[in-house]
A and B are shown apart, each in its own frame.
Chain A
Amino acid sequence: MPRTLAAPPVPVPALEMSGEAQMGDHIIAAEWSPDGRMVATATVSGPVGIWDSGGKLVRELPGHKHGTFAVSWNANGELLATGGQDGVARVWDAATGEPRQELDAGASWVEHVAFSPLGDFLVTAAGRQLKLWKAGGELVHAYGAHPSTISSVAWQPGAFYFASAAYGQLATFGVDKPEPVKSFAWKGSILAVAWSPDGNYMATGNQDASVHFWYRKSGRDLEMTGYPAKIRELSWDTGSRYLATGGSPVVTIWDCGGKGPAGTRPIQLQAHEVYLSAVAYQSNGGLLASGCRAGWVYVWNQRKPDRPLRGARLDGAITQLCWAPADEHLAATTERGMLRIFRRTSQA
């Protein structure tokens, strides 16, 4: 069990709000456009909103019948991909809101869509089916069925590789190959995968209350245990040194510098009183945002671990936290349909 600090939560200065919107239903996905000017959010009932940083609705898309699961911007911000419960992934013209493509993802629940950081490739995952497309709708590869439902996909930052996770395996793929580049068998259920920005590690959060570090080159893996519950919240800092994780009310940060994280004690940040539901490092600034099931959002400087720099409470459990690419804004969404955008201040 991660060490819990005795310090009680302390009042912290409020995060500065830049805008707010209400979508009326659980927001399941959120992502900033690459230029940081707009954030796309999706609800479990279907509608997708594109908002400016002041929380003003720029465009609304119908999303997917029965519900939307995922959103992803392409690298230049012209296209938005969505996946949902109607068996297809859609690619929308972000400027007009017109659907450009409808891609058959191979099963009824399309839980993951992700545009590549380079080259406009789109990965879709539905049930056990994994497919790679070009943004224009051309199917590049339909990979063989996974041994079980795909629980997560993640691109390697700045590369043409991506990883998929499922019960029983973690696999990596390159856009030029119809087969996995590497397959890491593991008898456990992987819930989330996050690739370190330098490409050396894949971190996974698992149902059995563990976090694994997979060394991409050697295939070795390192298990970190001690969490009270499953872990789905993972975020790498931009230097690929720190991995922030949830799985408890305490933000647990593993340091991969030096010989770590093997045998090291994690950094622990305590302010939340209930389980975390989101963690997100800035892309450049090194600050970390954490959100919990009680609706609190805190922003931390982990070098001052005693208390968060700033905080705010939203209505309902936090579902997503994401920093705009240049860290100028932080978007937080909740299960009660709230989107709130915070502005970066000198302290946070």
Chain B
Amino acid sequence: MNTETASERIPVTVLTGFLGSGKTTLLNRILTENHGKRIAVIENEFGEVGVDNELIVNAEEEIFEMNNGCICCTVRGDLIRILGNLMKRRDRFDHIMIETTGLADPAPVAQTFFVDDEMRDRMALDGIVTLVDTKHIWQHIDDSDEAKEQVAFADVILLNKIDLVPPGEVDKLEARIREMNPAAKIYRTQDASIGMDKILGLGGFNLDRALQVDPMFLEPEYPFEWGGVYQMTAGRHEFVMQDGPDPEMSLVVIPVASADYQGLEGAQLGAVLSFSGEKKSVRPGETIETGYDLHVLTLEGAGEKRFPIAVPADGAYALFTEHHPEEFAAALHGSGALEAAVSKAYKPDHEHDEEVSSVGLSVPGDLNERKLNAWLRDLLMNKGPDIFRMKGVLSIAGETRRFVFQGVHMLFDGRPDREWGAEPRHNSFIFIGRNLDRAALTEGFMRCLVR
């Protein structure tokens, strides 16, 4: 791990977007706007933009595979060469802007800043800005991998040319894009008109920004909608349900340490794993066992249904249900109706039909650095090609500073930034990619926590 802080490195912004999305217009704005920055622009498609105080270099995309056993690891050789030469100049640039070709996969450009030791030491990926042609994106978004990747990789997405489509269309598009990449900041623009502070100086990953987008996005999504902890005595209890909206419902009853929030939260992960495990079908009158077995209650036919629960010993038990019990006017009965000591409604798991999606985690506590490294190494070796981006702010045990990192496919770059100070130590983490396994990612990450 590098001890250099991010701020000493020159920020690099990567500009992606299909042909006609407005990249050249945006570049012209960046070059002509009075922002007081010296910007070097590496262009791919030839455009006449000659402006004082800025340097424009035309690059021929030279992508090559790193011969390092990393199957998805491609980099841009031309950038290593050109930027290597630019970095020798005494009149350093404040910012570097790289335009990619319309159909480009953003990965090789981004990976260049992780793979080459000189690039990594001297420059930092500040952000990936993706321009979307609001009118024509629908032709690509369903069947073009490049379009999906450009959206999934982005830190900032500009929905450009909004003047050419009705507002309802833009809303629909934004919702669609938000599903693929909830961490990106989305702006609607006309003629690529946008404040420079919105696209430059993003500083890699800004948690606050991500939270502004969706305050719940770092909340893990759970396969259950409700959980509650009950103090129960040994013996027979009953889960009583009235008619509800679904013909079946899954639940699990897990013994926990205490009938409070700590007890509930301590059981969440186990419950997640249960819900992705084997199912045990239960008809009314059949007994629900406590433990990690997932029970699927069959609710066919109208009328009240009662499911006995065999409680083996006095203690606290957490009940996690697929749907909110209110939907079935369901209740737990012992000698009388039981109230949950504490309960919580969970953010429901989206039905993802998108193959490109994200997994976010937000967990208090400290991480064991060795375990984290081992887990990430393993994860990236096996799933690297499907993980487009990952970003996070982590609390590493024994480190007084926040550990900020980001990655692209199999590569990542992390380093400490500021002191935690009075701020509560916390881990925030997001993966964006294809076919991500939420439960596995969650479990793997949780295992890295210091117990």
CB within 8 Å of B: which residues of A? 24-26, 28, 44-45, 67, 69, 108-109, 127-128, 148-149, 151, 167-168, 187-189, 207-210, 228-230, 275, 335
Contact = CB atoms under 8 A, between A and B. Distances in A.
Given A149-B77, A149-B78, A167-B77, A26 B90 contact: yes
Contacts of A69: 85
A210 B117 CA distance: 14
11 contacts: A25-B89, A26-B89, A44-B90, A45-B90, A128-B60, A149-B62, A167-B64, A188-B64, A188-B67, A207-B64, A228-B117
Interface in B58-88: 58, 60, 62, 64-68, 77-78, 80-81, 85, 88
Contacts of B67: 187-188, 208, 210
Contacts of B85: 44, 67, 69, 109
A149 B60 contact: yes
Contacts of A108: 58
A71 to B, nearest CB: 15
Contacts of A230: 116-117
Q: Chain A interface secondary structure, helix, strand, loop or mixed?
A: loop
Contacts of A128: 60
A209 B67 CA distance: 9
Given A25-B90, A149-B81, A335-B88, A167 B62 contact: yes
Contacts of B89: 25-26, 44-45, 67
B90 A209 contact: no
Nearest to A208: B67
Contacts of B64: 167-168, 187-189, 207
B66 to A, nearest CB: 6
Contacts of B88: 26, 28, 44, 335
Given A28-B88, A44-B88, A207-B116, A187 B77 contact: no
A229 B90 contact: no
Nearest to A223: B67
Contacts of B58: 108
A180 B67 CA distance: 26
Contacts of B62: 148-149, 167
Contact of B81 (A24, A67, A151, A209): A151
B89 to A, nearest CB: 6
List 5 tightest A-B contacts by C-beta distance, closest first: A208-B67, A26-B88, A229-B117, A44-B88, A148-B62
Interface in B25-70: 58, 60, 62, 64-68
Contacts of A109: 85
Which of A28, A167, A228 neighbours the largest number of chain B CB atoms within 10 Å of its CB? A167
A26 B62 CA distance: 26
Contacts of A189: 64, 77
Given A26-B88, A28-B88, A209 B68 contact: yes
A25 B65 CA distance: 34
A28 B116 CA distance: 20
Contacts of B77: 148-149, 167, 189, 207
Nearest to A69: B85
Contacts of A208: 66-68
Contacts of B60: 127-128, 148-149
A329 B168 CA distance: 76
A45 B89 CA distance: 7
Nearest to A337: B90
B60 to A, nearest CB: 7
A264 to B, nearest CB: 22
B361 to A, nearest CB: 32
A228 B120 CA distance: 14
Interface string B322-359: 00000000000000000000000000000000000000
A187 B78 CA distance: 16
A274 to B, nearest CB: 11
A188 B65 CA distance: 7
Given A67-B85, A189-B64, A207-B66, 6 more contacts: A25-B89, A128-B60, A148-B62, A187-B64, A187-B67, A208-B67
Contacts of A28: 88
A183 to B, nearest CB: 17
Contact of B65 (A45, A187, A229, A275): A187
A189 B67 CA distance: 9
Contacts of A127: 60
Contacts of B80: 207
A229 B116 CA distance: 8
Contacts of A335: 88
Contacts of A149: 60, 62, 77-78, 81
B220 to A, nearest CB: 37
B250 to A, nearest CB: 50
B115 to A, nearest CB: 9
Contacts of B81: 149, 151
